Amino acid sequence: MTKNPDKKSEPQVAAVGFNRPLLLSPAQDLQGYLAAVLGKMFLLGITCVSLMVVVLIFVFISKEAWPFFATHGIGKLLGSTSWYPTAEPAEFGGVSLLAGSLYVTAGALLIAVPIGLLAALFLSDIVSFRIRQFVKPIIELLAAIPSVAYGFFAVLIMAPWMQEKLHLPTGTNALNASIILAIMAIPTIISIAEDALSAAGRNLREGSYALGATRAETLVKVVVPAAHSGIIAAIILGMMRAVGETMVVWMASGNAARIPAPWWNITQSIRTMTATIAGEMGETAKGSDHYHCLFAVGFLLLVFTFALNLASEHFLSRARRLRGGSK
């Protein structure tokens, strides 16, 4: 079909409805090029918002935390367990807070990792597809419940139960917080571990079964080691969830800034870093020592979770690499 080269082609309205001429003049060409490049830069700018936000977070939190480090030094924060920020003279020993966070996180992981891994194995290998489709949303619902609701449950239902049935002197303690944090972390662990386990590949499993292993042996000795990077990443992400949780520990851990004595008694009250920031922030006047100290604690929290994040990313990328490839 010949076309008249001088006339502008009739608008062939395709499904996408554009009507650009087939031959561009130099001006139009330049216009188009500029539009494309500027558009791309604009989009890149929007994408960089997330980068900007992370930088801003670090900048602003360090900015407010710096006066504390400048005047008192980090040694004061990490040096003692006496947290009396409103006494005169004020004492900012944050070791008890760190210990508190550690206690609830360790407790939560001790409960969450076995249960989460077993559940992930169950869902990925042992049950049929239909049951899995049914159970996965239920577990995701657990993840969706707001933390305030968990805290509500912990302080109004679980704490009295602990006091009555377990005869503990106080129901708001490290154990209470650990259990609730475990329930909150398990869905994260399950979903990421399950992804890692499914990606381990059928050939591994089939090879193991062919050699006569039982299902339990296959899973424990072949599949889990093969997926270990992903599983470690899952555990680290669960840990991040537990460390960063505020409302539950604020309501349920008792907020006593001390290291339990004896050290293995998790039925005593402790206080975490997150609960300290949430509870004491309102009382500080902007610019006071206490204010900067709380930002310093927040800074520590930020650095710690950032490190955990890098670690989890490392393991996830290893898992991806070992899996062989697609992004």
Site for another protein in 193-252 (CB under 8 A): 214-217, 219-220, 237, 240, 243-247, 251
Q: CB nearer to another protein: give 72 or 255.
A: 255
Instruction: Report the nearest approach of another protein to the CB of residue 158 (Å).
Output: 9
Nearer to another protein, 226 or 260 (CB): 260
Handedness of CA 282, 284, 285, 291 (dihedral sign): negative
Phi (first) and psi of residue 83, to 5 degrees: -105, 90
Q: Which of residues 73, 86, 207, 211 is near another protein by CB under 8 A?
A: 86
Q: State how far the alpha carbon of 262 is from the alpha carbons of 253, 258, 269, in Å.
A: 17, 11, 12
CB of 231 to another protein, least distance (A): 14
Q: Which residue, 73, 84, 105, 265, is CA-closest to 182?
A: 105
Long-range contacts of 268-272 (CB under 8 A, 24+ apart): 268/170, 268/173, 268/174, 269/170, 269/172, 269/173, 269/174, 270/96, 270/99, 270/100, 270/103, 270/104, 270/173, 270/174, 270/177, 271/83, 271/96, 271/97, 271/100, 272/97, 272/100, 272/101, 272/104, 272/177
Nearer to another protein, 100 or 226 (CB): 100
Q: Which is nearer to another protein, 175 or 257 (CB)?
A: 257
Question: Given the rule CB under 8 A, which of 67-75, 76-84, 197-205, 221-229 is the region that contacts another protein?
Answer: 76-84
Q: Which is nearer to another protein, 115 or 322 (CB)?
A: 115
The site string for another protein over 9-38 (x = CB under 8 A, - otherwise) reads -----xxx-x-----------------x--
- Residue 94 DSSP one-character state: -
Which structure tokens are listed for 170?
A: 């106080």
Range in contact with another protein (rule: CB under 8 A) among 44-52, 193-201, 202-210, 222-230: 44-52
Q: Cα separation of 65 and 60, whole Å?
A: 8
Near another protein in 158-197, by CB under 8 A: 159-160, 163, 169-172, 183, 186
CA distance 47 to 28: 28
Kindly report the CA angle at 81 between 159 and 256, in degrees rounded to 5? 15
Number of other residues whose CB lies within 10 A of the CB of residue 205: 19
Nearer to another protein, 150 or 226 (CB): 150
Give the binding-site size for another protein (rule: CB under 8 A).
117
CA angle 103, 108, 111 (to 5 degrees): 125
What is the footprint of another protein within residues 304-323 (CB under 8 A)? 305-306, 308-310, 312-313
Closest CA to 201 of 227, 220, 231: 227
Return the residues of window 135-154 that contact another protein according to CB under 8 A.
135, 137-142, 144-153
Q: Which of residues 274-303 bind another protein (CB under 8 A)?
A: 274, 277-288, 294-295, 298, 301-302
- Write out the binding residues for another protein, residues 92-121 only, by CB under 8 A: 96, 114-116, 118-119, 121
Min dist CB 46 to another protein, Å, is 5
Which of 67, 79, 122, 199 is in the footprint of another protein by CB under 8 A? 122
Residue 106 or 139: the one with the smaller Cβ distance to another protein is: 139
Q: CA 100, CA 257: separation in Å to the nearest integer?
A: 8
**Min CB(175)–another protein separation in Å:** 14
Give the number of other CB atoms < 10 A from CB of residue 223.
23
